Amino acid sequence: MTTIKDVAERAGVSIKTVSRVLNEEPHVRAQVKERVLEAARELDYKPNRAASRLAGGRSFLIAHLYDNPNPSYISALHIGAARRCRELGYHLVVEPVNSQDKDLLGLVRRLFATIAPDGILLSPPLSENTEFVESVRQLGGRIALISATHGDEWTHISTDERGASKAIMAHLLGLGHRRIGFVRGHPQHFGATLRYDGYCQSLVEAGLALEPALVAQGYFDLQSGLEATRSLLALPQRPTAIFASNDEMAVGALMAAREFGLNVPEDLSIIGFDDTPMSRLISPALTTVRQPLEAMGAAGVETIVSPDKAPGDYLDFEIILRDSCAPPRG
């Protein structure tokens, strides 16, 4: 294995100079820098990160702590994060946990003591636990929060879920829907609240009444979506469209529609959120919202590696129009 010493020798400089060049520290002449870089290239030198870390530098590891609500969500984050990591010479360590675990903080502490990641990526629901986030912060590590907002605004990676919700509503209203049912997401999920906000704002801005009866509570799982939609469809004056706060509940909504003998989208339009793989596979395919999850994972890594870079704006969402929406009957 070639080491920094070999590179130094070949370039005719000291190892410290090589270190400087490789870490982009100042005070190296352009000419020397070039010489070092070339030597490194020729020897195919790759720094030993265990040594970097031990000497007080970075570990080039980023840990993603998550409690898995949804494989495709996590998977997409991983792909985006890992790709960016690779570009930056980092590596992504995954730590699936149980968010109910009493000793979560102990796990983080152990993480720092053993592999000392340069930062920690937190996704919902972990990123929404203010107390936990603060504790982790106090342990000294850098943090990037996916889809959550509290404390330092620099560290947040999110899409404008409220805006996405409004865009979906605009679509529905544009089709002519006036009675739109809403299935709320898990009460502790921050994004769920934003999605609901968007729903409410859209109605108000359209000059429509906000009927509490048209809003039902769900918990992001199929069953709750099914039950919530049942209650909505049982209304004397039933909605012509259902906006579910995520895809899984939208599938529940679809089942409820079937129970009521309603055709989707002719008799009932249905909207999901998240664009899980399933929303494409189900019939009719769901109109839904896609968050740029890979970009969010990448942005999280970015935030950790270069915390002083410009605070990221919202990342763009995308409305995926498929077959579950149509103008209302009559």
Partner DNA sequence: TCTCCCTATGACAACGGTAACATAAAGAGC
Partner DNA sequence: GCTCTTTATGTTACCGTTGTCATAGGGAGA
Query: For residues 317 and 167, is the Cβ–Cβ distance under 8 A?
Result: yes
| Residue 282 touches which of a copy of itself, DNA, none (Cβ within 5-8 Å per kind) | a copy of itself
Q: Which of residues 35-54 bind DNA (CB under 7 A)?
A: 45, 47-48, 51-52, 54
- The DSSP code sequence of 128-194 is G-HHHHHHHHHTT-EEEEES---S-GGGEE-B-HHHHHHHHHHHHHHHT---EEEEE--TT-HHHHH
Tokens of 85: 């990591």
Does position 46 bind a copy of itself by CB under 8 A?
A: yes
Smallest gap from Cβ 257 to a copy of itself, in A, equals 11
- Report if residue 83 touches a copy of itself, rule: CB under 8 A: yes
Contact residue for DNA among 17, 127, 147, 224 (CB under 7 A):
17
- CA-wise closest residue to 254 among 272, 270, 241: 270
Indicate the residue among 51 and 210 with the shorter CB distance to a copy of itself.
51
Contact 157, 296 (CB under 8 A): yes
- From 28-36, 76-84, 179-187, 297-305, span contacting DNA (CB under 7 A): 28-36
Among 37, 43, 79, 139, binds a copy of itself (CB under 8 A): 79
Q: Rounded to an integer, what distance in angstroms lies between the CA atom of residue 195 and that of residue 173?
A: 16
Task: Kindly identify the residues of this chain, within the stretch 108-127, that bind a copy of itself according to CB under 8 A.
Answer: 110-111, 113-116
- Strand 241-244 vs strand 215-217: parallel, antiparallel, or unpaired? unpaired
Q: Which positions from 249 to 278 touch a copy of itself by CB under 8 A, shown as an x/- string?
A: --x---x--x------------------xx
Task: Closer to DNA by CB, 3 or 149: give it.
Answer: 3
Residue list 58-77, contact with a copy of itself (CB under 8 A): 59-61, 63, 68, 71-72, 74-76
Q: Report the b/e string of 36-49 with b at 16+ CB within 10 A.
A: bbebbeeeebebeb
Least distance to DNA, CB of residue 305, Å: 14
Is-cis flag, bond preceding 284, omega within 30? yes
Q: Which stretch binds DNA (CB under 7 A): 19-27, 176-184, 219-227, 252-260?
A: 19-27
Closer Cβ to a copy of itself, 80 or 239, answer by number:
80
Min. distance of Cβ 50 from DNA in angstroms?
7
Closest to a copy of itself by CB, 205 or 259: 259
With binding defined as CB under 7 A, does residue 292 bind DNA? Answer: no
28 lies in the site for DNA, by CB under 7 A? yes
Helix or strand (DSSP H, E) at 65: strand 61-66
189 backbone dihedrals φ, ψ, rounded to 5° = -90, 120
Contacts of residue 160, defined as CB under 8 A and 6 or more positions apart, other chains included, come to: 314, 317
- Residue 96 corresponds to which amino acid? P
207 is an interface residue for DNA by CB under 7 A: no
Beta strands 288-290 and 318-320: pairing type? antiparallel
Q: Are 238 and 259 in contact (CB under 8 A)?
A: no
Residue 93, helix vs strand vs coil: strand
Enumerate binding residues for a copy of itself (CB under 8 A): 1, 46-51, 53-54, 59-61, 63, 68, 71-72, 74-76, 78-79, 82-83, 86, 89, 91-96, 107, 110-111, 113-116, 222, 248, 251, 255, 258, 277-278, 281-283
Enumerate binding residues for DNA (CB under 7 A): 1, 3-5, 12-17, 19-20, 22-23, 26-29, 32, 45, 47-48, 51-52, 54-57
